[in-house]
Amino acid sequence: MTRTAIVTGAARGIGAATALRLAADGHAVAVLDLDPAQCADTVRAITDAGGRAIAIGADVADAAAVDAAVARVAAELGAPTILVNNAGIIRDNLLFKMTEDDWDAVLSVHLRGAFLMSRAVQKHQVAEEWGRVVNLSSTSALGNRGQANYAAAKAGMQGFTKTLAIELGRYGVTANAIAPGFIVTDMTRSTAERLGVGFDEFVAFNADQIPVGRAGYPEDIAAAASFFCSEEAGFVSGQVLYVAGGPRA
């Protein structure tokens, strides 16, 4: 059945791959990011393949912008009943070097953004008596040196997910989280730059630590999101799936 999906942080990386996968699954997709111009390639790829998509520019941490974006999606594509909260940033640093702005920015985009988007979309989900929320967590939720802000945000996403599952389940809405491991994206490239190592070297080092012997790619996460958003996943809710190439503690 065709649904309308919103994917945040969808201009590139995991968000873009997820938008493309959901479109391939037959859904109309709102490709949302700060700059709608950066979403053009993803929207074009979807529409060239015969799908329906629009680019929307919005700051997910801005309540008014979120409400306006969701209203536009409903008007142009139909009531959004699938939401993938993928938008995120990193401001990595050791605790003693981390500024309040570094902390606030990361928590705002990840947690406030997921809260605002979910609050706006759930109205449509409840009215339709069907919905899927997928929140992007991370293996960093288990702790990661130099990422106190990011780890706290990603751990928070897991608690947020489980609470949504409890509150919205009676309305036919499921909520699940995906916790990626090492994924080859612009974000991990930025981490390599921060550490002062070449990206190829960085990827090879991390792949060597992963049981399946390779790094992950955005399409690996998109595949998991596709399942969580499917009709068949209606009895799966409140779960955190670590897509990391091996077990995590």
How far is 241 from 249, CA to CA, in rounded Å?
Answer: 12
- Choosing from 150, 171, 217, 242, the catalytic residue is 150
Q: Is 12 exposed, middle or buried (0-12, 13-18, 19+ CB in 10 A)?
A: middle
How far is 92 from 178, CA to CA, in rounded Å?
Answer: 21
**Looking up tokens 């401001």, which residue turns up?**
91
**Which has the closest alpha carbon to 88: 135, 31, 142?**
135
Whole-Å CA distances, 176 to 133, 160, 237: 6, 10, 6
171 is known as an active-site residue:
no
How many CA atoms lie within 13 Å of 163's alpha carbon, on the beta-carbon side? 10
**Separate counts of helices (H) and strands (E) for the chain:** 9, 7
Q: Is 129 left (phi over 0), alpha (psi -120 to 50) or beta?
A: left
Task: Check: CB of residue 177 under 8 Å from CB of residue 135.
Answer: yes
Q: What is the DSSP letter of 175?
A: E
How far is 168 from 135, CA to CA, in rounded Å?
Answer: 15
Instruction: Report the C-alpha dihedral over residues 56, 51, 79, 112, rounded to 10 degrees.
Output: -40
Catalytic residues, by residue number, are: 150
